[in-house]
Amino acid sequence: MATISDVAARAGVSTATVSRALNGKSTVDPALAEKVREAAAALGYQPNGLARNLRRQETAVLALVISDVENPFFTAIARGVEDVAQTSGYSVVLCNSDENAEKERRYLDVALQERVAGVVLSPTGGGTDVSPLLGRGTPVVAVDRPLDAVDGDQVLVNTKCAADEATRHLIEGGYRRIGCLTGPEGVRTADDRLAGYRSAIADSDTQQETYFRRCELRTAHAKAATLDLLDADAPDALLVVNSTMAIGVLEALRERGLRPGRDVGLVSFDDAPWAALVDPPLTVVAQPAYEIGSIAARLLLDRIADSSRPPEARVLAAELIERGSSHR
Amino acid sequence: MATISDVAARAGVSTATVSRALNGKSTVDPALAEKVREAAAALGYQPNGLARNLRRQETAVLALVISDVENPFFTAIARGVEDVAQTSGYSVVLCNSDENAEKERRYLDVALQERVAGVVLSPTGGGTDVSPLLGRGTPVVAVDRPLDAVDGDQVLVNTKCAADEATRHLIEGGYRRIGCLTGPEGVRTADDRLAGYRSAIADSDTQQETYFRRCELRTAHAKAATLDLLDADAPDALLVVNSTMAIGVLEALRERGLRPGRDVGLVSFDDAPWAALVDPPLTVVAQPAYEIGSIAARLLLDRIADSSRPPEARVLAAELIERGSSHR
DNA sequence: TTGAAAGCGCTAACAT
DNA sequence: ATGTTAGCGCTTTCAA
């Protein structure tokens, strides 16, 4: 593979000139520059990014570490990040931590070792440690879930409030035994949404007890937990914390011959592409996923440009979209 | 940030010894090795991957370039790739080409410049050029769609055959004006599935004409195209080439007050997580997406280990899963 | 077993 | 405007 010296030799100039000509830095005699470009083209020269990055001590790539590639909420965030990164000349590499702290740690290590310019991260659980990144000066912005013990940039959703609102909506719909299906303890969104549910129930004068289950944020687990909840507590409505789990819930309901809305009221977080297509259409708490991603990327780029900026925490609003599954 | 020389100084050894100790290469005196590890830990030493890669001329990362992160088919492939890469110590970075040849080219450039160890790619259209990668010795395996003009490793699905089978299934179901909604010309899967549809119709003695529309592989485009097809040709059944488009089709049907199955038979490619939940459940052609990914990764790793292996083309089978949408 | 030293390919002072 | 040169941080001969 041709190197910069090959190009220099062929064009009859120094490597420095080649570098300058190809990077459009400083001023180079147009004629020479042209010669260089010709030589580069003739040799099929492809700059070695590794060498360049090593020398420059920086990389034009952003790492995006998300907890589930198969969740449309996160892929929408990914698109948001990518779209703004793109326009600033950054590439973004997506790493799937799979709700697994160990995988997450590994990807964070890779990000550090590869000296990416910045990281957008949706932390899996409580124990995420980004201090090595921060220590080295690599900015990190948290999305969806906060990074505790770190006062950094973050883009979150007012999720407790949204859960409260969704629960009230079910109460108003006449449901009297509302349950909640949420994720593992320590996953902040799972905890917050459960808290929102609880506060709405506590405020109600139609329901005293709470009925909830925690399980992994996966379809199969959600289905099993729902079956269990159904059999044990016979709830007449359910608040579900994401669309992946909602699929499991719908499967469980079907298995028990229960119809969403009529038999069991249903509200789920995340307006998945299919949410309006099931029967009855699913009432959801829509989160502005794309915006979360684009804002996070913007925050990150801003901080890369100026590391002294004070940390910014953005909290976006979610929107309850009423459809058939929350009415009898 | 601490470098290898800092560690060497602190441990009172040479940088060579540090490198050897930390990489477990060659033999190092256990006592010294321990001292080195201590020094490294004390300094919070994080090896600079850039420098290492530059020296080694290789990277333990695989690039996966897919055409749509929001399509569950591709995210399932991603999981397959990741799972096997993981076990061999490789990280995989996911790049979303977004069915956009320009973006794809950019990511392929990045992959080349960053000297990734290998690339798994689902080519957007016809014009994809991987020769720079290949020329430099970076192996590429194509998934879902072939790389024309290159005799390389690839993992495909016998998609024409599957489309033919799906169409016959509709014919047997008694549908007599079967249409097809497919992707842009040049997207091999779109062309093959259309061909499969055509061959089934040609073989039938119940239908002479074909009714089809091509549009971008997106929900909104699919909806518009379906509306158009419905109004112009009044098909009584539809074969749809992926689940993203199927959503648009279902929306269109609903808008026209047409019920899947009873009014318009429906078969879609890809068994999306929600496919069994819509009403009636969606008959699909399920592709072994996870296997496509895992096999592709294995092929890639094999080739990285031994570049002289003859190229291997694997063609997996798809499976028709009959559900309610293809019966009256 | 260990160290000295070369060098991966590039960019950025510095000198001209 | 261009060239010379040092050096980014690491691994790997080569010698000792």
For A158-206, the pLDDT digits (tens) are 999 999 999 999 999 999 999 999 999 999 999 999 999 999 999 999 9
Residue A149 has pLDDT above 80, yes or no: no
What's the confidence (pLDDT) of residue B26? 72
* B273 to A247: CB separation less than 8 angstroms, yes or no: yes
Residue of A nearest to B73 (CA): A70
Residue among A50, A112, A250 minimizing CB distance to B115:
A50
**CA B86 – CA B66 distance, rounded (Å):** 18
Report whether B261 contacts B280 (CB < 8 A).
Answer: yes
Judged by C1' against the alpha carbon of B52, the nearest nucleotide is D10
CA of B233, closest CA in chain A: separation in Å? 24
| Pairing of the two strands B118-121 and B61-66 | parallel
What's the confidence (pLDDT) of residue B58? 84
Q: How confident is the model at residue B110 (pLDDT cuts 50, 70, 90)?
A: confident
* A72 to B70: CB separation less than 8 angstroms, yes or no: yes
Residue of A nearest to B104 (CA): A91
Q: How many residues does chain B have?
A: 328
Q: Which residue has the tokens 């020269």?
A: A45
* Number of other CB atoms surrounding residue B202 within 10 Å: 11
Residue A150 has pLDDT above 80, yes or no: no
Report the largest interatomic distance among the alpha carbons of chain B, rounded to a whole angstrom: 86
Q: Per the structure block, which two tokens stand in for A255?
A: 């298995």
- AA identity, residue A225: A
What's the confidence (pLDDT) of residue A324? 97
What's the confidence (pLDDT) of residue A125? 82
Q: Per the structure block, which two tokens stand in for A127?
A: 């124990």
Best mutation target among A94, A102, A240 (most B Cβ atoms within 10 Å) is A94
Cα-Cα-Cα-Cα dihedral sign, residues A93, A94, A100, A101: positive
The answer to whether A323 CB sits below 7 Å from nucleic acid chain D is no
Mean pLDDT of all residues in B155-173: 98
Report whether A298 contacts A290 (CB < 8 A).
Answer: no
Bridge partners for A91 per DSSP: A61
What's the confidence (pLDDT) of residue A246? 98
Q: What is the mean pLDDT of chain B?
A: 95
**CA B52 – CA B63 distance, rounded (Å):** 19
**Peptide bond before residue A280 is cis, with ω within 30 degrees of 0:** yes
What would the DSSP string read from start to end of B174-223?
T-SSEEEEE--TT-HHHHHHHHHHHHHHHH-SS----EEEE--SSHHHHH
What's the confidence (pLDDT) of residue B57? 87
Residue among B54, B93, B278 minimizing CB distance to A279:
B278
What's the confidence (pLDDT) of residue B307? 87
Mean pLDDT of all residues in B287-302: 98
* Minimum-distance residue to C7 (CA–C1'): B55
Identity of the highest mean pLDDT range in A26-35, A37-46, A247-256: A247-256
Which pTM was predicted? 0.93
Q: How confident is the model at residue B82 (pLDDT cuts 50, 70, 90)?
A: very high
Q: Per the structure block, which two tokens stand in for A194?
A: 């459960």
Q: How many residues does chain A have?
A: 328
Lowest mean pLDDT, pick from A23-32, A52-61, B199-208:
A23-32
Question: Which stretch of DSSP H or E encloses residue B311?
Answer: none
Q: Which residue has the tokens 């910045």?
A: A118
Mean pLDDT of all residues in A51-76: 94
Judged by C1' against the alpha carbon of A23, the nearest nucleotide is C11
Each residue of A102-124: b (16+ CB within 10 Å) or e? ebbebbbbbbbbbbbbbbbbbbb
Q: How confident is the model at residue A76 (pLDDT cuts 50, 70, 90)?
A: very high
- Please work out, in degrees rounded to the nearest 5, the angle formed at the alpha carbon of residue A46 by the alpha carbons of A44 and A49: 175
Lowest mean pLDDT, pick from A215-219, A320-324, B50-54, B270-274:
B50-54
Q: What is the pLDDT of residues A278-312, one digit of tens each?
A: 999 999 999 999 999 999 999 999 999 988 899 99
What's the confidence (pLDDT) of residue A307? 87
In terms of pLDDT, which residue wins out, B215 or A148? Answer: B215
Judged by C1' against the alpha carbon of A57, the nearest nucleotide is D8
The answer to whether B56 CB sits below 7 Å from nucleic acid chain D is yes
Q: Per the structure block, which two tokens stand in for A53?
A: 């990055």
| Pairing of the two strands A313-316 and A319-321 | unpaired
Residue among A53, A75, A279 minimizing CB distance to B50:
A53
Q: What is the pLDDT of residues A90-118, one digit of tens each?
A: 989 899 999 999 999 989 988 998 889 99
Mean pLDDT of all residues in B213-235: 98
Residue A27 has pLDDT above 90, yes or no: no
Mean pLDDT of all residues in B175-201: 97
What's the confidence (pLDDT) of residue A58? 85
What's the confidence (pLDDT) of residue A279? 93
| A13-CA/C8-C1' distance, Å | 21
What's the confidence (pLDDT) of residue A26? 72
CA of A52, closest CA in chain B: separation in Å? 9
Residue A126 has pLDDT above 80, yes or no: no
Residue A136 has pLDDT above 90, yes or no: no
Mean pLDDT of all residues in A2-11: 94
Mean pLDDT of all residues in A70-75: 97
Q: What is the pLDDT of residues B131-140, one digit of tens each?
A: 989 988 899 9
The answer to whether A15 CB sits below 7 Å from nucleic acid chain D is yes
* Minimum-distance residue to D2 (CA–C1'): A17
Question: Which stretch of DSSP H or E encloses residue B153?
Answer: strand B153-157
Mean pLDDT of all residues in A35-56: 93
What's the confidence (pLDDT) of residue B325? 98
* Minimum-distance residue to D13 (CA–C1'): B16
**Peptide bond before residue B280 is cis, with ω within 30 degrees of 0:** yes
* A50 to B72: CB separation less than 8 angstroms, yes or no: no
Percent of chain B's residues with pLDDT above 90: 87
Residue A8 has pLDDT above 90, yes or no: yes
| A56-CA/D10-C1' distance, Å | 15
Lowest mean pLDDT, pick from A20-29, A293-302, B72-81, B188-197:
A20-29
Report whether A323 contacts A276 (CB < 8 A).
Answer: yes
What's the confidence (pLDDT) of residue B100? 93
* Number of other CB atoms surrounding residue B136 within 10 Å: 13
Q: Which residue has the tokens 């290998």?
A: B118
Q: Helices marked H in chain B — which ranges?
A: 4-11, 15-23, 30-43, 49-56, 72-87, 101-113, 131-136, 159-172, 188-203, 219-233, 243-255, 289-305
Residue B126 has pLDDT above 80, yes or no: no
What's the confidence (pLDDT) of residue A220? 98
| Pairing of the two strands A211-214 and A178-182 | parallel
Q: Which residue has the tokens 């499991």?
A: A248
Backbone conformation region of residue B43, classed left if phi is above 0, alpha if psi is from -120 to 50, else beta: alpha
Q: Per the structure block, which two tokens stand in for A32?
A: 């020479």
Residue B298 has pLDDT above 80, yes or no: yes
What's the confidence (pLDDT) of residue B135? 86
What's the confidence (pLDDT) of residue B148? 81
* B274 to A107: CB separation less than 8 angstroms, yes or no: no
The answer to whether B1 CB sits below 7 Å from nucleic acid chain D is yes
Q: What is the mean pLDDT of chain A?
A: 95
Q: How confident is the model at residue B125 (pLDDT cuts 50, 70, 90)?
A: confident
The answer to whether A17 CB sits below 7 Å from nucleic acid chain D is yes
Residue among A69, A95, A277 minimizing CB distance to B278:
A277
Using a CB-CB distance cutoff of 8 angstroms, which residues of chain A are in contact with residue B109?
46
- AA identity, residue A229: L
* A50 to B50: CB separation less than 8 angstroms, yes or no: yes
Q: What does the H/E/C string look like for chain A?
A: CCCHHHHHHHHCCCHHHHHHHHHCCCCCCHHHHHHHHHHHHHHCCCCCHHHHHHHHCCCCEEEEEECCCCCHHHHHHHHHHHHHHHHCCCEEEEEECCCCHHHHHHHHHHHHHCCCCEEEECCCCCCCCCHHHHHHCCCEEEECCCCCCCCCEEEEECHHHHHHHHHHHHHHCCCCCEEEEECCCCCHHHHHHHHHHHHHHHHCCCCCCCEEEECCCCHHHHHHHHHHHHHHHCCCEEEECCHHHHHHHHHHHHHCCCCECCCEEEEEECCCCCCCCECCCCEEEECCHHHHHHHHHHHHHHHHHCCCCCCCEEEECCEEECCHHHCC
Mean pLDDT of all residues in B27-46: 92
